[in-house]
Structure 1
Amino acid sequence: MSENGNGSSTNQSAGAPGAAPGTGAGTSAAASTRTIVSTMPEVREASLRVARSAQRLLSIFTLDLEPMIYGEEPFLEAIKRLVLARSYAKVRVLLADPSRAMVDNNRFLILARRLTSCIDLRTMAQEYPASAGAFIIADDKALVYRLQANRWDGIADMNDPLIVRRYLAFFDEVWNMSMQESQMRQMFM
């Protein structure tokens, strides 16, 4: 491992990030872009970089729309910039526990209410455990992944399409089995 200048370590090995749902170990030619994250500020900064890199699709798999990550003004600005600059851009959010997100007047949910045609929210189907980790994916290229949603330890990779496509396939599978969270939107109207 080597230091990447922001206090995080860069992992030079190319294995898949942990035992992710539906993935399995794999290798990738883009391992030099992989960074280890272990604190909330590192996860927040990496998630912001991923969001800013999105050109057409941002997919968020989260327990409760963690306000310390997704409710921060720079992140919300990146979301607005993505969806307002491109008519085809979308943000998809899968929530394991939407009730927790609604308790704190979540700023992301307020933004989602204003941009209903660009931001889709769904509650995770019960077949999929909330323990499946947490991640954010930009297009089919960049991601931040945490093996356990209640911990900050994970990886960030800005250019690993092979691994990202595996996570995106899992996200799409859960997305297709999940129901739209219209109840959450109605609570904010």
Structure 2
Amino acid sequence: MEQAREKGRRWVISTKDEMLQAVIDVADEGKKRVSIFTHDLDPGIYDDPDFLEIIKRMVLRQSYARIRVLIADPSRAIKNGNKFVHLGRRLNTYIEFRHVREDLRTHAESFCIADETALVYRLQHERWEGIADTYEPAVAKLYGKMFDEIWQASEVEIEFRQLGI
């Protein structure tokens, strides 16, 4: 269900395929920054070739582009060799991963924000149901502020350093 508006579009997501397309659409809106809060890099979403191509294209076109990723539980991504992690190693000037501090892992949601304007949001990270919007600056800034606070409190852990991140 898509909502017609003057600027941007909003739609409801209920499946993994819809979530993947929403993440691709929202990331494609970004010109300088993408911020991702995820519990395990969502296999099949953040390692999708189309998503990775958008991220790679963004950082190679804009020297000031930044991709920041907060991961609550990186063990699965590390164990399975996530392609986004490998891209981050190669483009580590632009892509940074941080492990969410244990006392801040109470957040059940998962989201992706592009340029403080577009976002994909899931209330429960283990479910695909959510909402996407290509122009919702007020909500994107609200989640961006929460992301920034968690980002500042999180650090790169030894697991990440061993991967070269």
- Normalising by structure 1, we get a TM-score of 0.81
Residue of structure 2 aligned with 1:159, choices 108, 112, 135: 135
Structure 1 letter corresponding to 2:81? N
CA distance in 1, matches of 2:110, 2:7: 20
Alpha carbons 2:8, 2:134 under 8 Å: kept: no
How many Å apart are 1:31 and its aligned residue? 8.9
Q: Secondary structure at the match of 2:31?
A: coil
Between the aligned residues of both structures, percent identity stands at 44
Task: In structure 2, give the amino acid aligned to 1:98.
Answer: P
Counterpart among 36, 40, 50 of residue 26 in structure 2: 50
Q: Write the letter of the residue equivalent to 1:111.
A: L
Deviation sequence 1:100-130 (CA, Å, 0-9, x none): 1111111000101101111010001122225
Aligned to 1:177: 153
8 Å CA contact 1:137–1:144 kept in 2: the answer is: yes
Distance 1:154 1:122, change over 3 A: same
Q: CA deviation at 1:66?
A: 1.2
Runs of at least 5 residues in structure 1 that lack an aligned partner in the other structure: 1-8, 13-28
Task: Give the number of equivalent residue pairs.
Answer: 165
Please give the alpha-carbon distance, in whole angstroms, between the structure 1 residues aligned to 2:140 and 2:40: 22
Residue 9 of structure 2 corresponds to residue 10 of structure 1: no
Q: TM-score, length-normalised on structure 2?
A: 0.93
Cα distance in 1 for residues equivalent to 2:105 and 2:99: 12
Q: Provide the residue aligned with 1:147 in structure 2.
A: 123
Q: 2: distance between equivalents of 1:109 and 1:32?
A: 30
Q: What is the RMSD of the two structures over their aligned residues, measured on CA atoms?
A: 1.9
Q: Which residue is 2:144 aligned to?
A: 168
Instruction: Assess if the C-alpha contact under 8 Å between 2:14 and 2:129 holds in 1.
Output: yes
Map Cα deviations across residues 123-147 of structure 1 (whole Å, 9 max, x no partner).
Answer: 0112222543110000110000000
Tell me the equivalent position of 1:63: 39
Match of 2:50 in 1: 74
Q: Does 1:83 align with 2:59?
A: yes
1:54 Cα shift? 0.6
Which consecutive residues of structure 2, in runs of 5 or more, have no partner in the other structure?
Answer: none
Residues 30 and 160, structure 1, Cα contact 8 Å, conserved in 2 = no
